[in-house]
Structure 1
């Protein structure tokens, strides 16, 4: 059996504690992921917060917000598919996001070059086979890979942020998609971009910094949810 390639990343200095802190933050607001009953309107408000955060990090928030809202509203529908048929889930995510923004024939279609195809095949294998890795680490890597590869040629970073959330939903970290990790990223946009650039550099320090950043974004998302529930 091939070793999970993400296990070593999950052991990098600072990553285990950052992941544990993020999970603790989520558990604190969701009371062990299910003991607290979230009203439908609270979930809807949280999904909207996530969509706004996702769009806010784009080059044209107003242009992408309607699609980000559509995509956010289907997080729990797409989540069961992301680890079973990743290509299908990602294509559907792009269709939801980019409808009305890009030509119909470009919706859900990956650009046809060998390097992109190879990177996406590797990402698909990772999603299907990485069963033992922390979901936070897997979600972070999926996010960064999609943002770096830009397979669709439009809206890729928004799909990448949604894909991170899909992995967390599918793993039961955030079963209702109510923790707006996208808004957690948007709360520190300069840090988000620096961390993503660090991942793209390919160094262990850059990858480590990115994973720690994503864990922090999850914690910030949990804090935002907790604040909204108290009001």
Structure 2
């Protein structure tokens, strides 16, 4: 995804059929849920639980063979442990994501890949092409845009998941980055939505739309992914611990 200085890199996506209305409706539903629950006084434990639910779902999507109970208890396989490490530190990277997205992505991978890949590969792109892709994604995040924050989060997720710029754990990194964008851009400042659990619940659609995003070779796959994201983010609110 290339950017032109001074241009809105996501402008063309905001006029796709069904996208403005879809994201507006989803955001209204999320805002209503957060407002109606009086979440200005929400206990920190709800954020912790949301992050933990997200880690479990992300690990299972990444191929963990451990049970949700094992992942929650820290007694899982390597993939589950990677997801837990990322969830534990992810929110500390919100300020970094706002000003230096490349550093945030690198740190997410360093957390996820610890012990699984060589030290010198932690947080480093696989090759020159992957490095360029990360720079372009970073520039997109730093550029002014009129695109809804949820759309930005969905694009960051799909770009990282499909380009797989790191040596391992790209799905975990992509889903963590998505959550960070939702926090950093004011959609979900206390990180109470659980988009990872929504993607797990919609796993067939999630994986097929990511494949379409990667392989369509044009706007159709991107359009389909964004329409899917409006549904997933609505479900992410339903998966929130505040609904319990």
TM-score greater than 0.5 by the shorter chain: yes
Q: Aligned match of 2:7 in 3, 25, 36?
A: 3
Q: Runs (4+) of structure 1 moved beyond 6 Å?
A: none
Question: Aligned pair 1:229/2:229, yes or no?
Answer: no
Matched, 1:148 2:162: yes
CA drift of 1:44 comes to 1.1
Contact 2:9 2:145 in 1 (8 A): no
- How far did residue 32 of structure 1 move? 7.4
Number of residue pairs matched by the alignment: 228
How far is the alpha carbon of 1:92 from its aligned partner?
0.6
Kindly provide the CA deviation profile for residues 66-90 of structure 1, in whole angstroms up to 9, marking residues without a partner as x: 2212212223211121131011101
Q: 1:44 & 1:35 partners in 2: Cα distance?
A: 14
Answering whether residue 103 of structure 2 is matched by residue 84 of structure 1, we say no
User: Which among 6, 28, 38 is matched to residue 24 of structure 1?
Assistant: 28
Q: Give the gaps of 5 or more residues in structure 1.
A: none
How far does residue 59 in structure 1 lie from its aligned partner after superposition?
2.4
Q: Is the 8 A contact 1:184 1:217 kept in 2?
A: yes
- In structure 2, relative to structure 1, the CA distance for the partners of 1:178 and 1:75 (3 Å cut) is farther
Q: CA deviation at 1:145?
A: 1.0
Structure 2 gap ranges (5+): 66-76
The RMSD of aligned alpha carbons is: 1.9
What is the aligned partner in structure 1 of residue 56 from structure 2? 52
Task: Tell me: CA distance 1:84–1:32, structure 2 relative to 1, closer, same or farther (3 Å).
Answer: farther
How far the C-alpha of 1:125 sits from its partner, in A, is: 0.7
Which residue of structure 1 aligns with residue 72 of structure 2? none
Name the TM-score, length of structure 2 as normaliser.
0.87
Is the alpha carbon distance of 1:32 and 1:211 closer, same or farther for their aligned partners in structure 2, counting shifts above 3 Å?
A: farther
How many Å apart are 1:37 and its aligned residue? 2.2
CA distance in 1, matches of 2:117, 2:36: 41
When the two structures are superposed, what TM-score results if normalisation uses the length of structure 1? 0.91
